[in-house]
């Protein structure tokens, strides 16, 4: 008899623990689901989906993925992120994207030269692209 009572008590304890575990699992699933961010739910001021890699291009007047449409410039110094440029259809303007800037800037081409300028920023294109700031070469690319 005492053996049956022991088994019955053991079963009741196990069942009550299993119920609590199930309740905890349901709560954690609900909480984890609330933390998941859906791709496309994070649009910027221009309606670009930033989580999908899109950013606004002034020159293209559209949301673009700069790594798809831009020209990659690699940093000269180690541990520095690269930059991207997008040229307009006439190649008279270049839009510069780099982490060094809060937002992209437009460089304007000097007449009859392969040189685009905006303040201290200079982009030249002879054999390859070279981007300078204040005369110092920061980025180079094809």
Query: Which residue did the predictor score with more confidence, 27 or 115?
Result: 115
Q: What is the pLDDT of residues 97-129, one digit of tens each?
A: 999 999 999 999 998 789 999 999 999 998 899
User: What's residue 112's pLDDT?
Assistant: 78
Burial of 107 from C-beta contacts in 10 A (0-12 / 13-18 / 19+): buried
**3-state SS, residue 141:** strand
- Above 70 in pLDDT, residue 34? no
Lowest mean pLDDT among 34-38, 98-102, 130-134: 34-38
User: Which tokens in the block code for residue 35?
Assistant: 């933390």
CA 14 to chain centre: 48
Task: Output the pLDDT for position 84.
Answer: 97
Q: Would you place residue 12 in the very low, low, confident or very high pLDDT band (cuts 50, 70, 90)?
A: low
Predicted pLDDT at 134: 96
Query: Which pLDDT tens digit goes with each residue over 49-77?
Result: 999 999 999 999 999 999 999 999 999 99
Q: In terms of pLDDT, which residue wins out, 46 or 7?
A: 46
Confidence check: pLDDT of 4 > 80: no
């Amino acid at each position: 008899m005492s053996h049956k009572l022991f088994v019955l008590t053991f079963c009741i304890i196990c069942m009550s623990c299993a119920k609590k575990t199930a309740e905890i699992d349901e709560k954690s699933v609900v909480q984890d689901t609330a933390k998941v961010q859906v791709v496309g739910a994070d649009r910027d001021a221009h309606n670009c989906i930033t989580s999908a890699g899109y950013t606004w291009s002034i020159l293209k007047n559209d949301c673009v993925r700069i790594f798809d449409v831009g020209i990659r410039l690699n940093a000269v110094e180690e541990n520095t992120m690269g930059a991207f440029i997008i040229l307009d259809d006439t190649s008279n303007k270049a839009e510069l994207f780099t982490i060094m800037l809060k937002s992209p800037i437009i460089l304007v081409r000097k007449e009859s030269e392969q040189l685009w300028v905006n303040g201290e920023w200079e982009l030249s294109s002879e054999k390859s692209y070279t981007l300078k700031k204040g005369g110092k070469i920061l980025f180079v690319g094809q």
